[in-house]
Amino acid sequence: MKSLICCLVFSVFALGLSVSGQVIRIGVVGPMTFIQGIHHWRGATLAADEINAAGGITVGGTTYTIELVRVDSNEMQPGPDAVSAVERAITASKVDFLVGGFRTEAMLAMTEVAADYKKIFLIAGAADDGLLKGRVDKNYNRYKYLFRITPVRSTYLAQVSFILLRDVVETFRRELGISQPKIAIVAEQAAWANMIVTLVALQAGTPVDKGGFGGQHVGTWRPSALATSVAAELTAVERAGAHIVFTVFSGPVGVVFGRDWGRLQVPVAAVGINVEAQAQGWLDATGGFGAYTATAGIYATGVAVTEATLPFIEKFQAEFGELPLFTAGTYDALYILADAIRRADSLQTDAVISALETTDYVSTLGRIVFDELHDPIWGPDYITGLGVQWQDGAPKAFWPREWQPDPAKLPDLVISTPGTVPYVIPPWVKDHWQGK
Amino acid sequence: MYYGRYLLRYLQNEILVLPSRVIVLVFVASLVAFPLISQDPNLLRMLIVTALFSLYAVSWDLLSGYTGQISLGHALFFGSGAYASALLSSHLGLPPYATIPAGAAVATLAGLLVGIPCLRLRKHYLALATLAFPIMLTGLVLAFPGFSGGEGGIWRIARLTSTRIEEYYLIVGVMLVAVFALWKVAGSRVGLIFHSIREDETAARALGINTVRYKLFAFALSGFTAGVAGALYAHSSAARIVAPGVVLSLFMSFQPVIWTIFGGAATIYGPITGVFILYPLLDTLNVVIPKYRMLVFALLVLFILRFMPHGISTWIRDTIERVCPSCQVRNIATRRACRACGVELRHMQP
């Protein structure tokens, strides 16, 4: 009888060990009750399922499977929740790595916790330069654990949105004969937007031959990221006589803007950054008023940035019924991490960091190579992003299309991503300004 | 030996005779002994934030609960303490033992600056006026982003201590000492004057009380206490960053109101009860049901206030103790006769 009990106990123990297996725990950090966090989680689950189905990650002869831990940082609401969530994930859930994050203000604090506990944090959702600049370069030993996957840092994001704005300005000149379009800026109150707003305001009135837009800056409005109406701001924009409104939104105010802009038929073309407009449900969310919104984006219908893009989009759409947001870049983050662990053949943090630093990976976003700040390099052959406009009920890419990155030095270099279409001025805007 | 006997006698005659005092003793002993039971950094962090917010809530109770000067912009004091401390730490590299008193001093000054223009305002007019001050400070912070860190806030702030346990003992120690001091103030003649100002300011003035001076004192003392909490928060491991969206937000202003009303206003221990129940609860709900946490939280607060309108701690105290009608001394509810004057208590309602 005793031996039978011993056998049973041993069997249960052995079974427990085999069931638990060898796992790598990865904390997926994001505001999980908001679309940004939901896509963080979806991107990560898709990658984890694929990696596990393909046999997991083998390190030193041992195979590990990925186990994801949901870390709700509640970043949209300010408070100590984000810090608590990350610390809980590290100390209680025992995560080995962290991916995700969204709000710069929260990310600055959360990455401090990651640095304290020496945990690698692959940022997939926050753009502010200061997350890495001034940290990884100034205090490498403390902040070497931080890498950014997506989006590219604010400076580059600004660069993309400038190119998009220039494209729209040129379309106004070409199609409507407005030589000096008036540009208004509507940007959410958030740290990451500040630099972009300053630069656009500066460049708007600068002549084209001096690198500016050759337009006129008529004002800047900064609603809250959680504002429920921007009708007042849009009325002011209209009264200022603006032709184009440059938007900088990452929060729910993006939907509010799209809804109010289309509903009020404000005669300005909206272009810039609007994270919510990257979502498949954009038109539904804006009550159908969000058509013709143009934004810097990552994914668009039928556009293959790399060979990995379309299979990922198709899988994501099949699984979740919508286009991935840029925060679904956790998908690439997990693959890049898995790749680094395999190359390091170790789970030792320093070894994985060294492997991450030598990453050269073709992701769904483009080719990812990290610079000395642990930021992905931006530009042709690396990551550029897309210019996306809602046309005929779908997000269509209008950039990079006949893009000359450096016309002076490389006049023959013209980049056109297959599947891109021309930018279209919203019909009511065209009707309003035509002949004036 | 003498002091030991005195302490024992004091414990026997003053503490153990009343269950509410026993609860306080057990609570303090548990806080002090907690790291001996668990050193989980998560739990310690939660208790650190809870202790800081307790101090913050008590500061609101002193001003609004005791003196009746309803403040809906209390984040001003918390935020000015946090910002002053964080700015001194990040710009001048001063250590926390220098920046925290400076932060408290700035918050005291803020208390006086708010108090002076608000002296003529009462009730909801005063509440609305106070609401404007943290918004004004937020505007100032956003106007000078190079200096204040703007929307992104300040995050290069010196840490309070090198270990979590040291931090825990420091913050819990400061909280206990400060609360004890405020409890003494509230129980003194000054506390009585605060009560009188709340109940009938005109009558208090008619009795020769300089209500202006005492109201300003309440603003300054409340500002100082909230400033200490804010400054400690800025250096704590729970914050890491001082941003206007965190320390000067409307939510930060409303939280001490909820905690105090839930726990029991004008009691000092009420807000502490409120914070020690509600903050860990909200933190746990964030893990268990993040989507519905605010709904559950709000329903719970409504439920408690429906059945315990004077707050949970007041309800508990009135259930387990009763006041002697003759000498006003509190007794345990099971006593038949008053422990001080011997009047029969048996048929009294609690």
Tell me the pLDDT tens digit for each residue of A52-87.
999 999 999 999 999 999 999 888 765 678 888 999
Q: Do B49 and A80 touch (CB under 8 A)?
A: yes
Rounded to whole angstroms, the Cα distance separating A420 from A406 reads: 20
Q: Are residues A51 and A130 in the same domain?
A: yes
Assess contact for B103 and B85: CB atoms under 8 A. Answer: yes
Residues A93 and A43 in one domain: yes
Residue from A95, A63, A2, A42 nearest A320 by CA: A42
Q: What is the pLDDT along chain B (350 residues), one digit of tens a residue?
A: 788 888 888 888 888 889 999 999 999 999 999 999 999 888 999 999 999 999 999 999 999 999 999 999 999 999 999 999 999 999 999 999 999 999 999 999 999 999 998 888 888 888 899 999 999 999 898 888 778 887 778 877 888 998 999 999 999 999 999 999 999 999 999 999 999 999 999 999 999 999 999 999 999 999 999 999 999 999 998 887 898 888 998 889 999 999 999 999 999 999 999 999 999 998 888 878 877 888 888 898 899 889 999 999 999 999 999 888 888 888 888 888 888 888 887 655 54
**Are A51 and A198 within one domain?**
no
pLDDT of residue A20: 45
Burial of A343-382, coded b for 16+ CB within 10 Å and e otherwise, reads ebebbebebbbebbeebebebbbbbbebbebbbbebeeeb
Task: Please state, in angstroms and rounded to a whole number, the distance separating the CA atoms of residues B31 and B41.
Answer: 15
Last residue of a domain, one of A369, A390, A417: A369
Give B61's contacts (C-beta < 8 A, 6+ positions apart).
B256, B260, B265, B266, B267, B268, B270, B271
Contact between residue B222 and residue B63 where contact means Cβ atoms under 8 Å apart:
yes
- Domain boundary (A329, A350, A369) is at A369
Q: Is residue A333 part of a domain?
A: yes
Residue A394 placed within a domain: no
Contacts of residue B108, Cβ cutoff 8 Å, sequence gap at least 6: B220, B223, B224, B227
DSSP B299: H
The residue type found at A236 is: A
**Looking at the structure, do residues A292 and A181 belong to the same domain, yes or no?**
yes
pLDDT at B218: 95
The total number of structural domains that make up chain A: 2
pLDDT (mean) for A284-309: 90
> What is the average pLDDT across A236-247?
95
pLDDT at A93 over 60: yes
Distance from CA of B229 to the nearest CA of A (A): 14
Sign of dihedral through CA atoms A140, A143, A149, A153?
A: negative
| Distance (Å, whole) CA A304 – CA A310 | 6
- The CATH number given to whatever domain includes residue A327 is 3.40.50.2300
Residue A67 counted as domain residue: yes
Chain A nearest CA to B127, separation (Å)? 23
Question: How far is the C-alpha of B57 from the C-alpha of A109, rounded, in Å?
Answer: 24
Same-domain check for residues A142 and A221: no
In Å, how far from its chain's centre is CA B207? 30
Instruction: Check CB contact of A211 with chain B, cutoff 8 Å.
Output: no
A-chain residues within 8 Å CB-CB of B243? 78, 105
Task: Closest CB to B240: pick one of A72, A91, A112.
Answer: A112
Q: How far apart are CA A201 and CA A203, in angstroms?
A: 6
Please compute the mean of the pLDDT values over residues A347-354 and round it to a whole number: 96
Average pLDDT in the A11-32 region?
69
How many other C-beta atoms can be found within 10 angstroms of the C-beta atom of residue A416? 11
Strand-pair category, A62-72 with A57-59: antiparallel
For the residues A272-284, what does the mean pLDDT come to? 87
Q: How far is CA B41 from CA A93, A321, A368, B154, B175, in A?
A: 12, 40, 36, 24, 19
| pLDDT band with cut points at 50, 70 and 90 for residue A419 | confident
List all residues 6 or more positions away from A254 whose beta carbon is below 8 Å from its beta carbon. A188, A247, A274, A275, A276, A277
The separation between CA B149 and the C-alpha centre of its own chain, rounded to angstroms, equals: 28
Q: Is A33 on the interface with B (CB under 8 A)?
A: yes
Strand A269-274 to A294-297 pairing: parallel
Among all residues of chain B, which has the CA nearest to that of A38? Answer: B291
The model's confidence at residue A15, banded by pLDDT at 50, 70 and 90, is very low
Report yes or no on A322 lying in a domain: yes
What's the pLDDT score for residue A63? 94
Within a domain: residue A375? no
Q: Given A72, A87, A191, which is nearest B286 (Cβ)?
A: A72
Could you say which of A326, A354, A369 is where a domain stops?
A369
pLDDT tier, A8 (very low <50, low <70, confident <90, very high otherwise): very low
Q: For residue A198, is it within any domain?
A: yes
Would you put residue A402 in left (φ > 0), alpha (ψ -120 to 50) or beta?
Answer: left
Reported ipTM: the value is 0.73
The per-residue pLDDT for B59 is: 97
How near does any CA of chain B get to the CA of A156, in Å?
A: 19
* Percentage, residues of chain A above pLDDT 90: 59
Give which of A350, A378, A409 is closest to A153, Cα–Cα: A378
What are chain B's domains?
1-37 (no CATH), 38-253 (1.10.3470.10)
Asked if A224 and A268 sit in the same domain, the reply is yes
Q: How far is A10 from chain B (nearest CA, A)?
A: 31
d(CA A27, CA A408): 46
Are both A162 and A84 inside the same structural domain? no
Q: How far off is chain B from A41, nearest CA to CA, in Å?
A: 15
CA distance A220 to A197: 8
Do A84 and A29 sit in the same domain of this protein?
Answer: yes
CB–CB of B153 and A81 under 8 A?
no
Q: Which residue, A425, A422, A378, A380, is CA-closest to A397?
A: A422
Which of A33, A76, A105, A139 should one mutate to test binding to chain B, selecting the residue with the greatest count of B CBs within 10 A? A105
Provide the pLDDT for residue B348.
54
Using the predicted structure, report yes or no on whether residue A10 has a pLDDT greater than 50: no
Using an 8 Å CB-CB cutoff, list chain A residues near B246. 78-80, 105
pLDDT at residue A21 in the model: 60
Same domain, A210 and A102: no
Range 64-103 of A in CB contact (< 8 A) with B: 72, 74, 77-81, 83-85, 87-88, 91-92
A428 shares a domain with A280:
yes
The pLDDT assigned to B191 comes to: 94
The reply to whether A268 and A411 lie within a common domain is: yes
Q: Do residues A143 and A67 share a domain?
A: yes
The answer to whether position A15 is within a domain reads no
Domain assignment present for residue A7? The answer is: no
Residue A139 structural domain: 21-151+307-369
Q: What is the pLDDT of residue B347?
A: 58
Q: Which residues of A touch B40 (CB under 8 A)?
A: 91-92
pLDDT of residue A95: 95
Distance CA A28, CA A86 (A): 10
Q: Which residue type does A93 have?
A: S
pLDDT tier, A144 (very low <50, low <70, confident <90, very high otherwise): very high
**Average pLDDT of chain A to the nearest whole number:** 89
> Residue A60 has what DSSP assignment?
T
